[in-house]
Structure 1
Amino acid sequence: MRKVKSYPEAWPLHSPFVISRGSRTEAQVVVVEMEENGVRGIGEATPYARYGESEASVLAQIASVLTPLQNGMTRAALQQALPAGAARNAIDCALWDLERQQQQQSLAELCGVTLASRIVTAHTVSIDTPDAMASSALALWQHGAQLLKIKLDNNFISERLVAIRSAVPEATLIVDANESWQAEGLAARCQLLADLGVAMLEQPLPAAHDATLANFIHPLPICADESCHTRDSLAALRGRYDMVNIKLDKTGGLTEALALAVSARQQGFAIMLGCMLCTSRAIRAALPLTPLAQFADLDGPTWLAADVEPSLHFANGVLMPAAASVAD
């Protein structure tokens, strides 16, 4: 019988992470461990209140499939047993990790992909005053970050972006409004971003207002985040978004994420690969998707005061996944 256990962890951040929905000072994750014939797999997920999740609800969902998991539940069966979300993600990634160790392969090899030795990842500038955000952007740039993700709410948009662009004129900027904007004024804001050389705008409007983007002429790509969870989301996004942000916590694990990436590309969407606040465990599980992504936003562990061991190596704006590509 397979041994399965789940538990929460809290990982303090080195500085507050501020987006339009509020501020965080720690990453709260749920971990699933499973052991079979002496081989141990582990998966991690981050419950997200925006999707009605909490540590308690995620742990309860995991507990609801404990007996089938102990009796050898497969990834395919898991897709039917639980809805997309953090609980299924933690289990799905643990099952992938268990299998890759049983097969004595890396996760990338198991998925049939080859990882780049260096993956440029976005580094996030969280919401603050224009001067503070410009200072944060400059510090990241001076430490080698080439791609900066700028978090915004509905206030001081031009002031913040002009200050940041002045501080880092050569950086690639992407902007994430986290659903905080409204349709009124969106065209002017998109033009401002384009004039400042912003490469992409992520989820400007609440997901419930996606219809506003139908036939909306925009001078830079717009990416769906909160509006895109699984393959079932794609039909409603056509003609509204140019790109989708794939996160394992939304798809409910690597299994659906891989399928979503393939289907999205077939339907003409570009891919962004994102993450929540998390440890290196969660980023390792997402690495097989990096070859398909135009933008990787995998800096979650860089916000932690201390990461899980072994941790991934981030330096000079680059994630080097070599340690994740070798079977333990």
Structure 2
Amino acid sequence: MDNPEYEKISKKKPTYPIQSFFSQYLSKYDRNALIPVFYDDLLRFSGAIEVYNENGEDTLWVRVYYPEHERTTIDRDLKKVYSILHGDGSDTSVPFLNIDAVDYCTFGNSKPFRIKVRNILNDNYTYMYVKKADASRVYGLELEHLLSPNRINFLVYKETLIEDHISGIPGDTFIEAGLDAYSIRTQKQIAKEYVKFNERCIVRLLGDMRAYNYVIVPTHDFDQVRYRIRAIDFDQQCYEGRLRVYMPQFLKENNQYVEMVHNNLRPESIEQYQQEERSTIAKRILLGKKRIQELINCMLQDRISSDDKIDQLKNDLFIYTKDVAFKKCKCMGEILETAFRYVIRHYQDVNGLKNIKD
């Protein structure tokens, strides 16, 4: 794992619509739902103020306000959306919910709304996000659900995407707190997780995993705290042409994590963890073969990147893997399908397993 030079991300990525065949897939697996409020509805705010963090720094989010005659309807509809996302969609929980805040972010491609929902019975609160539905982002969410250790809760209806909040410490905030403050044992554990996270991104072609696009999730075990790394932004799923954009190790915002890996893990350990993660992904692909193939079939029909990026990525992958099958790919769906087949073949060869027909 090295980073002799850093990669740059495209400044502006186009939004790709949800095609009918992909919508049918989402309906089949209960990702489509009739919701009472749309992304464009939330754009009708009449005013906003900046949101600052506890240190008085601008968060790049603004808290928006709506005309009085619209606020009641928007609050009611957002509570209903929360009920659909987290329950059976009935109105039984709605009277016990309150919409504490609606925040809007103009930073990045998705320009999301962040909704703070509070249970008035116990004062517990959580967040959900309302975004413009983008095909590459939805493919990324579904692949994360199927191929990572994490489950993802989201809904799509027409041009609106509802995402559940993913809890954790933002990767850049975790860095600012000081990695050196953690014990050597903890640093080694985080380094191991970072290697595996890096490998997951490469295999499933999830790009732009800069430090603020993933979170560190501490889990208290009976005698220690374990850390996991979770992606929280899926905007750059199968879009960029340069392979190294899909390798977090080559993004300058991750430099301190890469240094931690080098300082705490031997090369043979890094290779071991990479192999473990590839094998785990291969097993998940084989276990979820039917649904994953249905998702790939949608991507084979879809257009979620440009021809020049497709050509560059397939050539980069050919150089990286020496697998000539990449050079024959004509779309991002074919590239991802070929990457999955490559990982499965490697897993089966290493373990002496008989090849399973596609």
Which structure has greater strand proportion? 1
What TM-score, normalized to structure 1?
0.24
Which protein is bigger by CA-based radius of gyration? 2
Which structure has greater helix proportion? 2
What TM-score, normalized to structure 2?
0.23
